[in-house]
Amino acid sequence: MAAQRPLGVCVVGTGKMGGDHVRRIDEVVEGTRVTAVVDVDEERAKDLAGRIDGCTAYPEAAAAMAASDVDAVLVASPGPAHEATLLEAFAHDLPVLCEKPLTPDAASALRLMEAEQRLGHRRVQVGFMRRYDSEYTHLKRLLDSGDLGRTLMLHHRHRNPAQPPWFTEQMLVNDSVVHETDITRWLLDQEITAVTVLKPTASSYAPEGMHDPQFVLFETEAGSLVDVEIFGHCRFGYQVQAEAVCEKGVVRIGDRISPDYLDHFQDAYDTEVQAWVDATRRGEVTGPGIWDGYAAAAVSEAGVRAQTEGVRVPVELVQRPVLYAS
């Protein structure tokens, strides 16, 4: 990539999330431009590309990544398609920002981790954008300072006004609570070792076949307890809260109620993508990586089993490779 020109980004997936990232790169983020968009819906991709000077629409990621004006890839397609897209990016040695989840299961995430290790250097940042939210970064600094002593418990609340018709009960854990999984690991700098899922009386607004809300309990390697209220159809708005109970005090963030997640975390998404672009232009990879995506997938798998079987499920992780050492 020539240093004097903007970073050319290919956005894979042009649905709600991908379309918002295209707008963000085109209008907000500095030092970059959208040079390619990819979607199986060719007409949607062509329509989006037609609004941006110098942007080309492709039906497949491989052709886009081979283009001379593509320097990096932002993946916003559905999770099951991520593995093939990232392997193609590795073949071209392109840096990637991949929306969560990295992959839908731990086995495929592990395959990606092994493939990245064969490259010999990190290429992937995973899109856990809460790490870039101003309230969460403030909470992280406060907990890391030690002023409040050890963190004994974390309480999370994750409320959505509604979910789309295709959203399943399992996705409450592996598509929604996956955010709390990552932010818990980041805030506490601990791995999650076990998951339990409890189900209170279901809301009358829960779709047929879905038990909503649910209560997810994490245990961590240092003995902290973390609970997550996940409420997919709360009706009143979008709200994400976190409360840390420490030895010498309690701190809570997230009292604001928003229309949806894109509105609530708009600044965090902007900061995340700008940080990725800046790091990429420096030849670096920062932020949550494939190890974090793999760990989140392993916790999600344990969570779905706990959700289905009604039992406490241990989380099994491979030994952390040197490439992902803290």
Question: Both 122 and 159 in a single domain?
Answer: no
**DSSP assignment letter at 211:** -
Tell me what the mean pLDDT of segment 225-235 comes to.
98
* Residues contacting 149, CB < 8 A, separation 6+: 246, 247, 248, 249
CB 29 within 8 A of CB 270: yes
Instruction: Classify residue 320: in a domain, yes or no.
Output: yes
- CATH number of the domain within which 62 lies: 3.40.50.720
Question: Both 51 and 196 in a single domain?
Answer: no
pLDDT in tens, 109-127: 999 999 999 999 999 999 9
d(CA 163, CA 170): 13
Question: Both 194 and 320 in a single domain?
Answer: yes
List, as one string, the DSSP characters of 131-159: GGSHHHHHHHHHHHHTTT--EEEEEEEEE
DSSP strand pairing (313-314 vs 192-198): antiparallel
Range of the domain at 23: 7-130+267-289
Q: Provide the 10 A C-beta neighbour count for residue 244.
A: 23
**DSSP assignment letter at 288:** S
pLDDT in tens, 64-115: 999 999 999 999 999 999 999 999 999 999 999 999 999 999 999 999 999 9
Partners of 230 in the β-ladder:
158, 214
Per-residue confidence at 314, pLDDT binned at 50, 70, 90? very high
Question: Both 172 and 199 in a single domain?
Answer: yes
- Give the pair of three-digit tokens for residue 142: 């406060």
- CATH number of the domain within which 211 lies: 3.30.360.10
Q: Quote the mean pLDDT of the chain.
A: 96
Partners of 241 in the β-ladder:
157
* Domain tally, the chain: 2
Question: Both 152 and 118 in a single domain?
Answer: no
Question: Both 126 and 151 in a single domain?
Answer: no
